[in-house]
Amino acid sequence: MGINVAIIGIGLIGGSLGLALHESPEVGSITGIDNDHEALQKALDIGAIDEMASLEGLREAQVIFLCTPLETFPQLIAEMAGFVRPGTIVTDVGSTKQRVMEWMKGLPAGVHFIGGHPMAGSEIHGIQGADRYLFENAVYVLTPGPETPPEIIQQLIDLLSVTGAKIKIMEASVHDQMVAAISHIPHLAAVSLVNLTEGQPDLLMLAAGGFRDTTRVASSSPTLWKGILTTNRSAVVEGLNKLIDNLIQLRSALEENDHEKLLSELIRAQAIRSQIPHGQKGLLPVMCDVICIVPDEPGVIGNLGRILGEHNINIVDIEILRVREGDGGTIRLGVSSLEDGQRAVKALQDESIKAWIR
């Protein structure tokens, strides 16, 4: 008899968790709970869950994943409290953790809550985007409370190991400060940049390349992001104040025609950004990026895989960056380490393929 898992919210993250957890020998069955019957049926069809249920199905669950939007948590926790048994592990996948940890105090005594945040996603939303490998090499943050027994934390870590994620334990407050800096503030910056172009269609015609990439996150669900930002309000406000101060300094440098100050800030930013590990999916450096230029012809990606495979180099991520039909394109290959990246570049160059580490 394996562990009975319940997933509340069968969307991208919930569906992907279901697909990944099915690979674990520790899991007995996975129950899906969602108000969207079509999503549940799709999850059943693709093997993300074994059965559908209402909240009453939580009585049989030993581990419960909350994968609904953050704004649904208060009501959901109140509704599920009558069905969750003592000893059950309840975890979530929300993007902020301090507020969630407070909400979870509404669960019955004896229920173990461990905050969770898998730092992975996809541009395809809902169960349609479910991917068994979504969490591979991604950072998966866990924020257990101080009273959570170590063996309970380890049980959840062992369960999640099959996803291929890199588990990192940290305090909820530290998590929220970090994601505010690397995710929430950049999102609001992108929103502001896009809104600057309102009513100027000619600007949008030119908004390709850097502007489009810089503001890509502004296309995310506004409702989802409202919940994320308001539940991390203090850390976001603090970060915004720092961003505003930096922008004011840059504005002053331009107003005063202070070339030295402006250049100093640009150089400082360039130096700091160069320290960001390339190709990672979250907070930890887990990949090295190899960029290569290849012709636009059938089988070219397979050929790249063959070349690296012959040198025992595993491709852990791949992305087509640019392509000109009938000519060629640029591809990013993510490999596991800098050493593998250096070997990959040599192997590709030996095959007359232009390649370098980014």
Please tell me whether residues 80 and 105 are part of one structural domain.
yes
Look at residues 314, 224, 278 and name the one whose alpha carbon lies nearest to residue 9. Answer: 224
Q: Is residue 267 part of a domain?
A: no
- CATH number at 129 reads 3.40.50.720
- 4 and 62 in contact (C-beta within 8 Å)? yes
Asked if pLDDT for residue 285 goes beyond 50, the answer is: no
pLDDT band at 211 (very low <50, low <70, confident <90, very high): confident
Q: Note the pLDDT of residue 3.
A: 93
Mean pLDDT score, 50-75: 94
pLDDT band at 89 (very low <50, low <70, confident <90, very high): very high
Mean pLDDT score, 230-251: 95
Q: Note the pLDDT of residue 281.
A: 52
Q: Is residue 210 part of a domain?
A: yes
Please tell me whether residues 235 and 144 are part of one structural domain.
no
Look at residues 107, 97, 75, 76 and name the one whose alpha carbon lies nearest to residue 7. Answer: 76
Q: Note the pLDDT of residue 193.
A: 92
- CATH number at 250 reads 1.10.3660.10
pLDDT band at 79 (very low <50, low <70, confident <90, very high): very high
Domain termination site, one of 123, 155, 170: 170
Domain termination site, one of 152, 170, 188: 170
Q: What length is written for the chain?
A: 358
Mean pLDDT score, 61-71: 95
pLDDT in tens, 235-244: 999 999 999 9
Please tell me what DSSP assigns to residue 238. H
Please tell me whether residues 105 and 29 are part of one structural domain.
yes
Please tell me whether residues 66 and 137 are part of one structural domain.
yes
If one compares 83 and 284, the residue with the highest pLDDT of the two is 83
Please tell me whether residues 344 and 318 are part of one structural domain.
yes
Q: Note the pLDDT of residue 73.
A: 94
Asked if pLDDT for residue 122 goes beyond 70, the answer is: no
The pLDDT > 90 percentage for the chain reads: 65
pLDDT in tens, 136-153: 888 999 999 989 999 999
b/e code 9-28 from CB counts within 10 Å (16+ = b): bbbbbbbbbbbbbbebeebe
Strand order of the sheet with strand 315-324?
Answer: 315-324, 328-335, 288-295, 354-357
Q: Is residue 278 part of a domain?
A: no
pLDDT band at 277 (very low <50, low <70, confident <90, very high): low
Torsion sign, CA atoms 250, 254, 258, 264: positive
Q: Is residue 104 part of a domain?
A: yes
Q: Note the pLDDT of residue 330.
A: 87
Please tell me whether residues 243 and 314 are part of one structural domain.
no
Q: What is the mean pLDDT of the chain?
A: 89
**How many Å apart are CA 186 and CA 102, to the nearest integer?**
26
pLDDT in tens, 313-344: 999 888 887 777 667 888 989 888 888 999 99
- 292 and 335 in contact (C-beta within 8 Å)? no
pLDDT band at 287 (very low <50, low <70, confident <90, very high): low
Please tell me whether residues 138 and 45 are part of one structural domain.
yes
**How many Å apart are CA 102 and CA 96, to the nearest integer?**
11
Residue 7's domain spans which residues? Answer: 3-170
Mean pLDDT score, 22-50: 93
Mean pLDDT score, 162-180: 93
Mean pLDDT score, 219-224: 84
Q: Note the pLDDT of residue 326.
A: 67
Please tell me whether residues 38 and 62 are part of one structural domain.
yes
Please tell me whether residues 18 and 159 are part of one structural domain.
yes
Q: Is residue 271 part of a domain?
A: no
Q: Is residue 261 part of a domain?
A: no
pLDDT in tens, 2-24: 899 999 999 999 999 999 999 89
pLDDT band at 123 (very low <50, low <70, confident <90, very high): low
- CATH number at 294 reads 3.30.2130.10
Cα separations (Å) of 255 from 169, 196, 243, 258, 259? 45, 20, 18, 8, 10
Mean pLDDT score, 191-220: 81
Which H or E run includes 243? Answer: helix 233-255
Q: Is residue 282 part of a domain?
A: no
For the chain, the first-to-last Cα distance in angstroms comes to: 47
**How many Å apart are CA 9 and CA 34, to the nearest integer?**
5
Asked if pLDDT for residue 98 goes beyond 70, the answer is: yes
Q: Is residue 260 part of a domain?
A: no
Asked if pLDDT for residue 310 goes beyond 90, the answer is: yes
Please tell me whether residues 66 and 19 are part of one structural domain.
yes
Please tell me what DSSP assigns to residue 182. I
Q: Note the pLDDT of residue 128.
A: 84
- What pTM value is reported for the model? 0.75
Please tell me whether residues 339 and 245 are part of one structural domain.
no
Please tell me whether residues 138 and 53 are part of one structural domain.
yes
Q: How many domains does the chain have?
A: 3
